[in-house]
Copies of this chain bind each other. A is one copy, B any other.
């Protein structure tokens, strides 16, 4: 893993510098799901695409929505617009979205036979993703770095086994207890697939790789390492760009995540930035962690909340401002504008004040 992936042509390399824990003029900011339903222009493009999957699978449209938030707000990174479940979709599990519902798989992976049939997909079946990465890089014209991403092996397994989202992931947990060997076989295929997928995104131009472990935090304490982090760690080792790992609900395992080889760990809003900083020391950057719901407050409260987060992370280099989870569909756009403005103004002011003192 390169500590500071050199990108000499980049006009704004604040994100890459923060990932390498180098000083920056301001705290870089981007938002999980920044290309999303809170933006009317996103909804317009999605309507044009006809469906969410069509949007993700059409490089022109994926490029369009990836760039939309950057036109509105001075964000410090772009993140590839795609779906978290592209990889199991390419495995032939039959991903589809029922209207108003979450993702579903036609062929969930539940027994010995299902697992035996599972293979790492051919990356040519995911060419639409790499095409989007290439097109986004071209259209970004080196303004800011592009983050590629994948779901973690465990989070992909959750949907593959359950066949849909779930409140308690009962089928996954039953497999973990009744047939841990089967779960490990799925995770092994997923880890190899995600490695190939992220490598292909990097080859196509992604300058940072993010792994979303949305569901790792629902594992029992002793299960997170063997069933989630160990597989993510194996992937991180093989990538040539800085990696950010975000485990929602990952608070019980911060020390282990910090030691996993990632450049940065994403923190959800329940996590104490001061404790995370103590654990991470100067080895790992931190990303987060404003409560996405704080953006539903009046502008003054949004700005106050942003300052409190910045103060909690402190003046050391190595903080990337983000929400503690994806931005909510009905978030007021003015709140996002105020947030991005406040983070840049307050963090650059703090640096000037501490440089002058």
Cβ distance A337 to chain B, nearest Cβ, rounded Å? 17
A291 touches B178 (CB 8 A): no
A170 touches B293 (CB 8 A): yes
Residues 279-314 of A contacting B (Cβ, < 8 Å): 289-294, 296-298, 301-302, 305, 308, 312
Oligomer: number of copies? 2
A270 touches B218 (CB 8 A): yes
Q: In the assembled complex, which residues on chain B have CB atoms less than 8 Å from the CB atom of A271?
A: 221, 252
Write the A57-86 contact mask toward B (1 if CB under 8 angstroms, else 0). Answer: 000000000000000000000000000000
User: Please, which residue of chain B has its CB at the minimum distance from the CB of A328?
Assistant: B168
With contacts A168-B293, A293-B168, A296-B170 known, is A270 near B177, CB below 8 A? no
Is A173 interfacial (CB 8 A cutoff)? yes
A173 to B173, CA, bound (A): 31
B297 touches A174 (CB 8 A): yes
A293 touches B173 (CB 8 A): yes
A174 to B332, CA, bound (A): 12
Is A272 interfacial (CB 8 A cutoff)? yes
22 contacts between A and B (CB under 8 A): A170-B293, A170-B296, A173-B294, A177-B293, A177-B294, A178-B297, A217-B270, A219-B270, A220-B290, A220-B291, A221-B270, A221-B271, A221-B272, A221-B289, A222-B308, A222-B312, A224-B270, A249-B249, A249-B270, A251-B251, A252-B271, A252-B275
